[in-house]
Structure 1
Amino acid sequence: MWKKAVKYTAIILLVVIVGTGAYAGYLYSKADHMLDDMTVKNTNSNSIKDEKPKDLKPMTILLAGIDHREKTGSMNSDVLMAITLNPKMKSATVVSIPRDLQLTPDDLQHRKANYYFPHFYLKDEQTAFENTKKVFEEVVGLPIEHMVTVDFQGFEEIVDELGGLDINVDMDMRYVDTWDGTNIDLKQGMQHLDGKKTLDFVRYRKSNRGTEPSSDGARNERQQQVLGELLGKLASVNGVSKFGSLMEIMGKHVKTDLSPGEMKDFIQTYLGISTQNIRFIHLDGEWESPYIVVKPEDIEAAQQALKHELNKTPESEAAAKAAEDAKQSQNQLTGSDEEPGSGTAGTNG
């Protein structure tokens, strides 16, 4: 149930971390202790610094959505995403990693991707972030500077604190799992959803009570709808007035190895990032029990997309656009955009 749809929850929480411009002054004057609550104290990591970085460079972050529920004792990292952020371009590339992807790290058991963070966390909370990042660097083909974890209860609380969201539910949704307490029951149409129902809306994937299952395309549309509504709420007068309580919620449910100083700089740099500047890539594969098998060329393409994001500059993007425009103009002049068989070959004159 949590394989893909839950990634939307993690993305939404990342947007909350990024914030909006109205929050910047508050952050620098009053939010130090809240940011400190989010910071994982790792004495073995060089990433924790008290001073504010002079210039935030492009970086890669591992984002893990944690299905941490007291009822089941679960702590699975069922959402795993590698995110490259480019401060000059105010853009990002997000690669979702299947939780059932088999990883084969040296000197460790070969397991599913969602095994490693809980494994490291239960052994030693202080080194869990660093050890998890090392494992996933082999997947993304890049150094991973930082890690962020979020849990689903935090998402529910944030939506509730903002007074809920007005959502156009695209289909009837019904799914029940008595073991973990899941009870999704939504009707099609425009309605006001609280945090629990909003989480149900973005995580719905399959049904066991007679409703239709969801497609990937429909889930993508839900993600965009919820992101837009949430950003609108955050930017409103009501959202700004509740920033303190929102930060307190995140202090309990969001953890990162960014220091408070780095977090301030991170928020300052990425203020106002548009969801239109976020590219989403899904590493889909075939199910070969008990793993998801992704084609090597798809993994390589995702790695190249992440690297491209890191290296983008306004100059390189302008040059690429100019080259593409020139290519299209040349195609129009030469008629190379004609359909096959529409040329003059084979005519009798």
Structure 2
Amino acid sequence: MGNRREDLESVERKRPSREEQIKRRKIEARKRKKKRQRRRIAISILTVLLVAILGTALYIYNFLSGLKTNTLGTGVAPISSQDPINILVLGMDIGDVDNQGNKSGRRSDTIMVLNYNPNTKKVHVVSIPRDTLVEIDAYLDSGEYRRYWKINTAYVLGGEEEIKTHVEDLLGINLNYIVEVDYTAFRSIVDALGGIEMKIEQDMFYDDDEQNLHINFKAGETVLLDGKKAEEFFRWRKNNDGSGGDEGDLGRINNQHQFISKVINKALSPSIVFKAPKILEAISQNVDTNIPAKNLISLGMKIMRLKPADIIMTTLQGEPEYIYGESFLIADKETNRELINALNAESTSSAPIITSVNREELKVLVLNGTKIDGLASSARDTLLSLGYTNIEVGNTDNIEKSVIETDNKDLKDLLKNDIGIEKSGKISKSEYKEYDAVIVLGKDYNLFGN
């Protein structure tokens, strides 16, 4: 009897009090509430993702259905997935000012080739100067026969096929597709990007009432270029008084490359996804091409995975010559051999370094930072054999590791390839500012076998 009473008293002591029971129920209620909240959050996130996916799919569908891909004939896809993709990009002028719908009189104001090489995972954007000489059997409006023409008239004389033939011959490539962008398209795409900020390097004052083109930029100012202003910057060649255009079309191409670099940096930034719908809409409504829409998206995705440094801009090289009293650029394959090889490289190791830097125009200082006699002279001889012409040598304090000092990224990459030195930095001393680059040879230099 006594044991049973003790057991009942023990159970009574273990039973939670009313206050404890209320407290436990509140805790369990909070747990259930948090679980419901987590479920609602998860459902909300999934809903947002689903809407985003459906929205993206809708934009892509609209882009695919709206893209004008049947106006330039049929493109030819690369035979193999390892073959480069070459796209001829033509920036067209307005042609007949009084009848802008008449495309037959338009000239190719800008000529570029976009080359994507899947072997090297690099893109080359090659500008072809408008004054490049090509041979076409054709006649002037006066009836006079001409054999030599500037390449920007090839479109007028024979359309896309004529200019395509000459570009293929100049670069030793097969063009797969064509993209035509007039300045209406150009403006709409730049506006869709939200404009491009540019620092103006020189005065740009030019007026052409016939084309309603008025350019007014002052050196030193930084301008956010909307579509209209970007067109003006892109088209400038010289000022009203003839100043500022000493390099002619080559100077214009240099400006275009600077602008395109800014566009690439903006297009490859993560924030571009928020502008994608407007960009796709601008392309589909204003750009003519024969690239199948799915191929264009596939290529775009590949390029989006690249770094800005993997997109290389260069210009077809040549020598100026006067014919018919006009200035022509005479280009040949040997002059552009490195460029042609890079466009068709089968691997990264076989691809030459392509740059707009001209070795002959550089001033380079080579310093011996070791106790090895003649090391700087040996490096100078190596550079001279590669086409450098202005090389000075000297001595400096001993250092362990060789370094290239330059403020020019393209020159840094070129010298890394030419001299075999990986370490680099900006020019460190004020007395070296007169040089484009300073190469300091350290104790490790001889280990490279140079």
- TM-score computed with the length of structure 2 as normaliser: 0.55
* One-letter code aligned to 2:150: K
Q: Which residue of 1 aligns with 2:448?
A: none
Mapped to 2, the partners of 1:119 and 1:245 lie a distance apart of 35
Equivalent position SS for 1:40: coil
Q: Which residue of 2 aligns with 1:5?
A: none
* One-letter code aligned to 1:103: V
Q: Which residue of 2 aligns with 1:255?
A: 288
- The answer to whether structure 1 residue 71 and structure 2 residue 97 are counterparts is yes
* One-letter code aligned to 2:317: L
Mapped to 2, the partners of 1:241 and 1:102 lie a distance apart of 43
Q: How does 1:1-349 map to 2 (within 5 A)?
A: 30-41=59-70, 45=74, 47=76, 55=81, 57-68=83-94, 71-72=97-98, 73=100, 75-104=106-135, 110=147, 111-121=149-159, 129-130=160-161, 132-188=163-219, 189-208=221-240, 212-213=244-245, 222-223=255-256, 225-235=258-268, 239-277=272-310, 278-284=312-318, 285-289=320-324, 292-295=327-330, 298-302=332-336, 304-316=338-350, 336-337=378-379
Mapped to 2, the partners of 1:28 and 1:87 lie a distance apart of 27
Q: Which residue of 1 aligns with 2:404?
A: none
Deviation at 1:214, TM superposition (A): 6.5
Deviations 1:5-43 (A, max 9, x none): xxxxxxxxxxxxxxxxxx999876642442454443279
Mapped to 1, the partners of 2:230 and 2:350 lie a distance apart of 40
Mapped to 1, the partners of 2:70 and 2:339 lie a distance apart of 32
Mapped to 1, the partners of 2:337 and 2:65 lie a distance apart of 32
Alpha carbons of structure 1 residues 292 and 303: separation in structure 2 relative to 1, 3 Å: farther
* One-letter code aligned to 1:288: I
Mapped to 2, the partners of 1:186 and 1:114 lie a distance apart of 26
* One-letter code aligned to 1:230: V
Alpha carbons of structure 1 residues 214 and 181: separation in structure 2 relative to 1, 3 Å: farther
Extract unaligned runs of 5+ from structure 2: 1-51, 140-145, 353-372, 382-390, 394-450
Mapped to 1, the partners of 2:340 and 2:251 lie a distance apart of 25
- TM-score computed with the length of structure 1 as normaliser: 0.68
**8 Å CA contact 2:92, 2:109 repeated in 1:** yes
Equivalent position SS for 2:93: strand
Greater relative contact order, per chain length (Cα 8 Å cut-off, separation 6+) = 1
**8 Å CA contact 1:164, 1:194 repeated in 2:** yes
Mapped to 2, the partners of 1:147 and 1:46 lie a distance apart of 7
Answer with 1 or 2: which has the greater Rg: 2
**8 Å CA contact 2:75, 2:178 repeated in 1:** no
Alpha carbons of structure 1 residues 233 and 145: separation in structure 2 relative to 1, 3 Å: closer
Bigger mean CA offset, 274-283 vs 142-151: 274-283
Deviation at 1:90, TM superposition (A): 2.5
* One-letter code aligned to 2:153: Y
Deviations 1:155-190 (A, max 9, x none): 222222333233222233211111111111122312
Deviation at 1:87, TM superposition (A): 2.1
- The percentage of counterpart residues that share the same residue type is 24
Deviation at 1:313, TM superposition (A): 1.0
Deviations 1:316-338 (A, max 9, x none): 359xxxxxxxxxxxx97695236
Q: Over aligned residue pairs, what C-alpha RMSD do you find?
A: 4.1
Equivalent position SS for 2:181: strand
Alpha carbons of structure 1 residues 117 and 87: separation in structure 2 relative to 1, 3 Å: same
Mapped to 2, the partners of 1:176 and 1:257 lie a distance apart of 35
**8 Å CA contact 1:175, 1:183 repeated in 2:** yes
Mapped to 2, the partners of 1:314 and 1:46 lie a distance apart of 27
Deviation at 1:276, TM superposition (A): 3.1
* One-letter code aligned to 1:81: M
Deviations 1:288-343 (A, max 9, x none): 236544445x443325522332224134359xxxxxxxxxxxx976952368999x
Mapped to 2, the partners of 1:264 and 1:45 lie a distance apart of 17
